[in-house]
A and B are shown apart, each in its own frame.
Chain A
Amino acid sequence: MAAFGRARIPVTVVDYGAGNLVSIEQALVAAGADVRRAAHAAEIGDPALLVVPGVGASAPAMERLHAGGFVPAILDWVAADQPFLGICLGLQLLFERSDEDGAQTLGILRGHTVRLESAPTLPHIGWNQVERRHEHPAFDGIAPGADFYFVHSYAGAPVDRDVILAETEHGARFTAAVARGNLLGVQFHPERSGDDGLRLVANVVGAAGAA
């Protein structure tokens, strides 16, 4: 729970019909957030942090983001370097295009989403080690190589290697997290990754609240 006497930090979760939102909302609440669910861009409000969750394929997700008026809102938000957290598909959509279905995605990061190469099993489902390339406040208090929960078959392949915050190996190394300014994207599901996942969410919410 949030510390007594401290205001909860406003966080908006983009709801574009991507299934289970309960888990991420509960993880945010546990991190001290006051969570709002936006089914349309007009409902985003003025949060400290914008969260785009999601699983599944890019094309239907982009259709629903367009239908909700979210695309220009997200582009403006990130262009202004406002705190942003993309989870799983919410990270993949930051790239230019998805190899999964050819969908044109947000184009915030250069590169596209590629199928995991030489994966022994696919989808890549389960807990795997996240290896940071450099330190980042989101991982404060989390051991190097800590396990997080993944469920995906594709991952973003950034052209600009500097944005890669962490990598994970499943047959080959892939991008597990990206960071650029106040933008953070994670391929794993912190809301399903036990204590370390909750810590990461709390770090992100805390940083957004302090900004």
Chain B
Amino acid sequence: MLRRRVIPCLDVANGRVVKGMRFVDLMDEGDPPELAERYAREGADELVYLDISAAPEGRGTLLDIVERTARRAFIPLTVGGGVRSVDDMRDVLRAGADKVGLNTRAVEDPELVRRCAARFGSQAVVVAIDARRVPPTDAMPSGFEVVVKGGREPVGLDALVWAQRVVELGAGELLVTSIDRDGTKSGFDTEQLRAIADLVQVPVIASGGAAGPDDFIAAVRDGGADAVLAASIFHRREWSIAAVKAAMAAAGLPVRLVPEASARAAMTTEGA
């Protein structure tokens, strides 16, 4: 049976893991490949790097950490942030990533989704949809509106309409973030997740609002999510990946459990 995935997200800026409120008060938290390897050992099913170094000079550094990660963490890696073209995507995949996440750029240029999927396959294209709740209107019937630029800019687009559109264009997965919940630790917006998961056949990854294992369970059970992503609760070691997965398993959800014995340091094939 297909397992429900738990995916830690690492915010990366200028080659380092950062945390804190996204985009402000960044704190240096270490070397991304090192943390990635730790997460892999603890049972992460995939990894996401969200590159928040807006400056173009951060690109080379990002490719370097992607390659170093691919050398030591043998689980799938998605890179989001800063992919603006098919060539950017090619560079990231060549460095050792398996998928890219497209967000603001896809809203600006939806055909980019089609071009990326045509070149590298749908399985490599994750479209990230950031959405907030608004009063339903004729133009926004679902009451979920797409926002871009890290949640700062509403674009007047219904999130359900957009979800269906990007799947038609070739997205192989949707990463759905509730901007209302992101960083609030008040749980995922399961209604929003359910509305999108029921609409599309591609897997939906829940993001934004995780405080503990119960939220992961709700995202899957109530929201219909195939995978659940979280950042701060793992970075701050409030919960381990193993503890979250154990709780999901106890709730009857299919998860991949990694025995501690298999967390071998032998997985490392090189020094840092």
Contact = CB atoms under 8 A, between A and B. Distances in A.
Interface stretch (A20-28, A38-46, A203-211): A20-28
A194 B40 contact: yes
B94 A20 contact: yes
Contacts, number: 113
Interface residues of B, number: 38
Interface of B (DSSP majority class): loop
A195 interface: yes
Interface of A: 1, 19-23, 26-27, 29-30, 55-57, 119-129, 147, 149, 151-153, 169-170, 189, 191-195, 197-198
Closest 8 CB pairs of A and B: A22-B96, A56-B121, A22-B70, A127-B3, A19-B93, A151-B123, A127-B256, A147-B256
Nearest to B90: A19
Contact of A19 (B67, B124, B201, B258): B124
Residue among B71, B121, B122 facing the most chain A CB atoms (10 A cut-off): B121
B94 A128 contact: no
23 contacts: A1-B269, A19-B93, A19-B120, A23-B70, A26-B70, A56-B120, A56-B121, A57-B121, A121-B2, A121-B201, A122-B201, A123-B123, A123-B203, A125-B172, A127-B3, A128-B1, A151-B76, A152-B123, A153-B123, A170-B2, A189-B76, A194-B262, A195-B262
B235 interface: no
A17 to B, nearest CB: 9
A162 B201 CA distance: 32
Interface string B201-216: 1110000000000000
A189 B76 CA distance: 9
Nearest to A57: B121
Contacts of B98: 20, 23, 151, 192
Nearest to B3: A127
Nearest to B45: A127
A190 to B, nearest CB: 9
Interface string B65-84: 00100110011100000000
A18 to B, nearest CB: 9
